[in-house]
Amino acid sequence: MCGFISIFGPPESDAIQDALNGLLAIQHRGQDAAGAVTFKDRFQAKKGLGLVREVFGEKHLQRLRGHLAVAHVRYPTVGLGEDTDVQPFWLDYPVGTAMAHNGNVTNFHELRRTYFAQRNIHLGSNCDLEVVLYVFADALMRRRADPVTVDDVQTAVKEVYDRVKGAYSVAGITSEGMYAFRDPYGIKPCIFGKKVTPEGTWYAVASESVVLDVAGYEIVRDLKAGEMVWIGKDRVPHIRQVANKPHRPCIFEYVYFARPDTFLDGTSVYEARMELGRRLGRAFLETKLVADVVIPVPESARTAGQTMAEVIGVPCREGFVKNRYVGRTFIMPNDKARQATIRTKLNPIRAEFEGKRVVILDDSIVRGNTSRQMVKIARQMGAAKVYLASYSPPLLFPCLYGIDMSTKREFVARGRTHEEIARELGADHVLYQTLEQMEDAVRTAGNKDLQFCNACFAGTYPTGDITESMIADIERDRLEASKV
């Protein structure tokens, strides 16, 4: 999972400041690497491994000039997290374009073996964006006349959709304009905004609406599944529908990934999490178990913790204090490092556990590392009972669309009953949200008609083109990456 932004500013403006403010707002989508490319006479870039504030300094604000910018924060899912894989990528020739994406190309290996081998193109990275970039640029190169028009971009996007499988939302710039396109099923988010200043009108596209908030843009709207936008020399946004597939936004964005202050496809992530908490609270009451306190695992479970506790009729307390400087545990290179880091990241407050029947609430349970440790700590702190609750259902299937969920073998819920999971994690009981309740909760918070990509919970991949060999390719990549 990654985050992107592209900016089209008024003629004499510099877009980099908005791009970097925006990147800080979506730092949660990837802390592994950051980069930005602007255009003024030529593409100018700054990319590096690390957090946005580590990669960028004052001098880059001075150097990265121009009213067009594209920027990215990375969370590696394919590739080994090398600096050659840091986005945005760009080509100066034959059609200059710089691009960033969020998602995952599922036929990356196949395209490498076929399309690219036949054209004698040697990809310079392990990043799947590179295949999108080449297919897009190749199609643009075949246009009839200058400058690039909306029809040219539409043709190029169509070519990408036809050849490149998976789920990827893309933002980019050329020497003259800005474009973005959302994947055919709209699995990945992509929102379009605008602001008017004395200098003129600015446009921005981003992975989350919080980018628009912090940089002063108002939301125009989310791009629909399979839709593109192009803003060229006429400075007018041209929106076109390029693919016509059913919209299946990723439900895990609401559960975990997006910031609570983000709106995705018109639905408030905060409201969705509040409702997820309420539903799980009701499910807890049905178990007839009795609790004294709800303790959410910070940060993502906090919102749902409040409402779950309200429904149960007990306080919601900060039983774990998070050291926010440790970084996300998933970003750790391997499982051992991850487990050690969880303990340094979350420290308990004894008074909230001692003698109490506690519900430890998390957004999800993947490998079970976090839950196992939280249960262990709760017992060390003298909890009378430890109930583990997840406001999403058991994760059972790998996400092939860009969320690093681990490989099939690693899911703690795989092949186990709830009793067995509780035993495995050391809890007195484990309570999961059901798939129906989760989906309904998110719908209640916003768009009543939304149907989701729930592949990681249910195993049905909406793109319908996932083969065993794609799964094997992706699993192999991830296993390789975890050995580094």
Please report, as ranges, the residues that interact with ligand AMP according to CB under 6 A.
256, 297, 300, 328, 330, 362-371, 403-405
The values of phi and psi at residue 339, to 5°, are -65, -40
Nearer Cβ to ligand AMP (135/399): 399
CB contact at 8 A, 326 and 345: yes
- Measured between alpha carbons, how far is 35 from 44 in angstroms, rounded to an integer? 11
Annotated catalytic residue within 2, 127, 190, 453: 2
Nearer Cβ to ligand AMP (14/128): 128
CB of 359 to ligand AMP, least distance (A): 15
Nearer Cβ to ligand AMP (223/378): 378
CB of 212 to ligand AMP, least distance (A): 24
Torsion on CA atoms 306, 307, 312, 313, rounded to nearest 10: 60
Nearer Cβ to ligand AMP (207/300): 300
CB contact at 8 A, 178 and 98: no
Q: Positive or negative CA dihedral for 342, 25, 478, 423?
A: positive
- Measured between alpha carbons, how far is 261 from 284 in angstroms, rounded to an integer? 27
Helix 435-444 × helix 269-287 angle, to 10°: 140
- Measured between alpha carbons, how far is 346 from 332 in angstroms, rounded to an integer? 15
The values of phi and psi at residue 84, to 5°, are -65, -15
Among residues 436, 359, 444, 355, the alpha carbon closest in space to that of 393 is found at 436
Nearer Cβ to ligand AMP (231/366): 366
CB of 104 to ligand AMP, least distance (A): 12
DSSP code at position 352: G
CB of 53 to ligand AMP, least distance (A): 21
Query: Tokens 């998070």 label which residue?
Result: 322
Nearer Cβ to ligand AMP (169/392): 392
CB of 274 to ligand AMP, least distance (A): 17
Nearer Cβ to ligand AMP (352/410): 410
Active site residue 453: no
Three-state secondary structure along 61-80?
Answer: HHHCCCCEEEEEEECCCCCC
CB of 304 to ligand AMP, least distance (A): 11
Residue 439 in tokens: 């989906």
CB of 408 to ligand AMP, least distance (A): 14
The values of phi and psi at residue 88, to 5°, are -70, 155
The values of phi and psi at residue 186, to 5°, are 60, 30
How many other β-carbons are positioned within 10 Å of the β-carbon of residue 130? 25
Please list the active-site residues: 2
